Amino acid sequence: MTNLVPDLHDRSALVEEVGRLRAEIARLEHRVRDLDRLAHYDSLVPVLNRRGFIRQLVKLVDRTDRYGDGGGVLFIDVDGLKLVNDSYGHHAGDAALVHVAQMLVGGVRQSDCVARIGGDEFAVLLERVNGEEAAETAARLVDQIAGTEFGHDGHASPLSAAIGIGMIEPGDKAEQVLIRADRAMYEEKAAA
């Protein structure tokens, strides 16, 4: 069995061991970053997943409680993806999800946070907004999604979205805000 501890009197062995340990630390730090990305980002579209979104929402709820900045959640259900999947296959549906995610990211401020919550549902975390500003953003995103047709292999498919708004209220928990936004989205769908 070899000795794992270098000879403390052998300077070159110590330097070599320090170099090996630094390389191992760098490798482990890189692995931790990879695992964090897998845990918090969607595997298909370049946005946060539900877990990553909740992590950011918890932080915003805490800041809102502490500083009163205000904020809200847009819960977005995209319509038309089932038709894309059924007509052109799941690869086309995946491409449509990427297309919608890009529209959402491009349609909000850099300080806002976009996530795919699951399936054809997305959410946007809006920082430092009031209800009127959140409603304006939601209306703009609905128009943007409805105003574009998703094209795949020469076939165009219309997409639309219903968006519910949940504003952060004093004493809220992150899941409460998300549930309120989800319910508001279903009310929007029922009213349409």
Cβ atoms of 146 and 160 within 8 Å: the answer is yes
CB neighbours (10 Å) of residue 58?
14
Return the CATH number of the domain spanning residue range 50-191: 3.30.70.270
pLDDT of residue 1 exceeding 50, the answer is no
Query: b/e string for 6-37 if b means 16 or more Cβ within 10 A?
Result: beeeeeeeeeeeeeeeeeeeeeeeeeeeeeee
90-106 and 81-88 are packed helices; what angle lies between their axes, rounded to 10 degrees?
Answer: 150
Instruction: Report the pLDDT value the prediction gives residue 21, as an integer from 0 to 100.
Output: 82
Mean pLDDT of 105-119: 95
Under the banding of pLDDT at 50, 70 and 90, the label for residue 34 is low
Mean pLDDT of the chain: 88
Q: Which of 71, 116, 110, 85 lies closest to 98 in space, CA to CA?
A: 116
Q: Does 110 have pLDDT greater than 50? A: yes
Using 50, 70 and 90 to split pLDDT, how confident is the model at 2? Answer: low
Q: How far apart are CA 105 and CA 108, in angstroms?
A: 6
Q: What residues does each domain of the chain span?
A: 1-40, 50-191
pLDDT at 40: 73
Going by C-beta distance under 8 Å and a sequence separation of 6 or more, which residues neighbour residue 136?
Answer: none
Q: Burial level of 114, CB count in 10 A (0-12/13-18/19+)?
A: buried
